Homo-oligomer: A and B are copies of this chain.
């Protein structure tokens, strides 16, 4: 199995990416890691004894966080991300991992690697922390802005397979994000999708309200990419703001500083529950290859976890199951 890694993507690239790759390379001898990026910069962090299962593919350009995705993918042909995507397209790698520009990674995946046959719209699936520590897979988190009920059904199938085979959740509970728990609730999209999901070949638990998502009431939450993206970013904003405000309280004066020392172990555990670094990457489901987006501010540990998830994705042959799901759906529609 081969994974192409965009060594130049992310806030702490290439150091965090290369260090994460070294950790994963020794953990998984069955996985070859192809690092794309500036060779001399990569070598700087690789050290003298490069592991056998790490290869470097030199590239001269970098897609920056501020670059406009479509233009960047079209113009920066020799960027670490585009070269990595081409490795997947040409069959020289089974997947790509990047902590770089999310929009560019989705664009590169769609334009270069392409959709799986039968999958109408790929979906970005993000694993959210929950208060019970299990986590919930939310899709679509923003790959596709205008979803149809059929898209939501495919998200549910892909989420089911990914949750079961990659995240190893037994009989994952699939929920539909909605404004109430009763079946008749929602907008046109969710009202139409509800009966379709109810007939799906997975464990559909019905509508889920946003206030319950982080209480772990379902393992997979299906929603359109606009609302998924808005919720993801809102949660990020609230998290950052609350931790910042809490920090101000703790560091206010010498007494509060002393008190916070006592509370430190508990607070660190509290913070760790909501730490994206423990939750690995976000896969783009429905393209002809494994695509894993690591968080922009990933450190080496986060990269290592994302590589772990990408490997699991490959090992369990999730893509051919997606094709079956799409085929099954087409078959079902033909009979209708």
Contacts and interface: CB of A to CB of B under 8 A. Distances in A.
Interface string A272-283: 010000000000
Contacts of A270: 245-246, 248-249
Interface residues of A, number: 55
Given A145-B186, A188-B146, A234-B231, A263 B267 contact: no
A230 B177 contact: yes
Contacts of A212: 237
A111 interface: no
B210 A237 contact: yes
A233 B209 contact: yes
A179 B124 CA distance: 14
Contact of A259 (B187, B237, B239, B260): B260
Interface string A204-238: 00000111111100000001111101111111111
Contacts of A40: none
Contacts of A91: none
Given A179-B229, A231-B230, A237 B256 contact: no
B213 A237 contact: yes
A135 to B, nearest CB: 14
Interface of A: 131, 142, 145-146, 177, 179, 186-188, 190, 209-215, 223-227, 229-242, 244-246, 248-250, 252, 255-256, 258-260, 262-263, 266-267, 269-270, 273
Chain B CB count within 10 A is highest, among A240, A241, A246, A255, for A241
Contacts of A267: 249
A256 B263 contact: yes
A155 to B, nearest CB: 16
A236 B179 CA distance: 13
A131 B244 contact: yes
Contact of A226 (B179, B246, B273): B179
5 contacts: A131-B241, A145-B186, A210-B237, A256-B263, A258-B262
Contacts of A232: 210
Nearest to A255: B262
A55 to B, nearest CB: 35
Chain B CB count within 10 A is highest, among A232, A242, A273, for A242
Contacts of A233: 179, 209-211
A187 B226 contact: yes
A250 B131 CA distance: 16
A131 B245 CA distance: 8
A252 to B, nearest CB: 6
